[in-house]
Amino acid sequence: MRAITQLGHPVLRQIAKAVPLPLSRAHERLIDDMFVTMKKAKGVGIAAPQVGVGLRLFIVAPEPSVRYPHAPRMDPVVMINPKLIHHSRKIVTDWEGCLSIPGLRGRAPRYHTVEIEFTARTGERLRAELTGFIARIFQHEFDHINGRVYIDRVRDRRTFMTEAEYRKLWK
């Protein structure tokens, strides 16, 4: 498990560098460590900058949890050097939180559908269309590798609430 980089650390505001391919043993170890860190923190995704590494790499792994009780279940996907190819016009504003900003939630607008391209852990270049919550996770993590965090996107600052108050909404 690695320490989760907290808001204020410079790596969270830097544009990450491309991951050299094929993956090195160190990069494979980083991915394994990111999985463990994300699982222990009950996250639905994690980006390399969130563990202090400025690389264009993240994991999308939704499943229901205490933090996201209504999340769909999906096998984890490692996304290396991802690109956003196209997005829908439709934008949905919904709740987000972040492992790097613990204890806080806010309503952030995101595209409902995104078409993406990325390199899988196997080295294969893939294309996919993501919608809804999974598209939201992709965009959240994609922001991390581009030096942004979700609070940059929140339009109405009055929507911020603590994690404890957010959980009361789902009881």
Report pLDDT for 170: 66
Q: State how far the alpha carbon of 104 is from the alpha carbons of 13, 18, 117, 147, in Å.
A: 18, 30, 30, 19
Instruction: Spell out the residues 6+ positions from residue 160 whose beta carbon is closer than 8 angstroms to its own.
Output: 104, 105, 106, 151, 154
d(CA 127, CA 138): 13
The average pLDDT across 1-18 equals 95
Is 141 part of the annotated catalytic residue set? yes
d(CA 96, CA 153): 10
Task: Check 96, 115, 117, 141 and give the catalytic one.
Answer: 141
Report pLDDT for 171: 62
The answer as to CATH 2.60.40.1180 being correct for domain 10-169 is no
Report pLDDT for 13: 97
d(CA 143, CA 13): 10
Share of the chain above pLDDT 70, in %: 99
> Torsion over CA of 12, 165, 137 and 152, rounded to 10 degrees?
-40
The average pLDDT across 31-49 equals 95
d(CA 3, CA 148): 19
pLDDT band at 163 (very low <50, low <70, confident <90, very high): confident
